[in-house]
Amino acid sequence: MACIESLKYDIILQGASFKECRDFVRANCSEFVTVDPGFRIFEKAIIGVPPILIGLDGDVITFPFTKPCYGTYLLRTENPAEAARIRALKK
């Protein structure tokens, strides 16, 4: 599985707060999963202020990604296997 920085992704929000990321996912994604910090997405432990929302639209995943020097981004990428794994958490 690819690491996040090698994925082909779109930046939806940049320098966002986790509340802004949550609000965006709630308003714009057809479904979402709530996870705790440390949940692994693309093999990387997710950083953030809980609750962390990961959005799903078919095979497209919308998720926050934090870097120490650059703050938090909301990214969107298509990955059928990872979307299915995350969607399965809802059941």
Binding residues vs another protein (CB under 8 A): 15, 17-18, 36-40, 44-50, 66-72
| CA dist., res. 88 & res. 23, Å (int) | 22
Query: Closest CB to another protein among 40 and 90?
Result: 40
Given a contact cutoff of 8 angstroms between Cβ atoms, the answer to whether 76 and 10 are in contact is yes
Residue 25 C-beta: closest distance to another protein, Å: 16
| CA dist., res. 58 & res. 7, Å (int) | 18
Query: Closest CB to another protein among 48 and 55?
Result: 48
Query: Closest CB to another protein among 31 and 43?
Result: 43
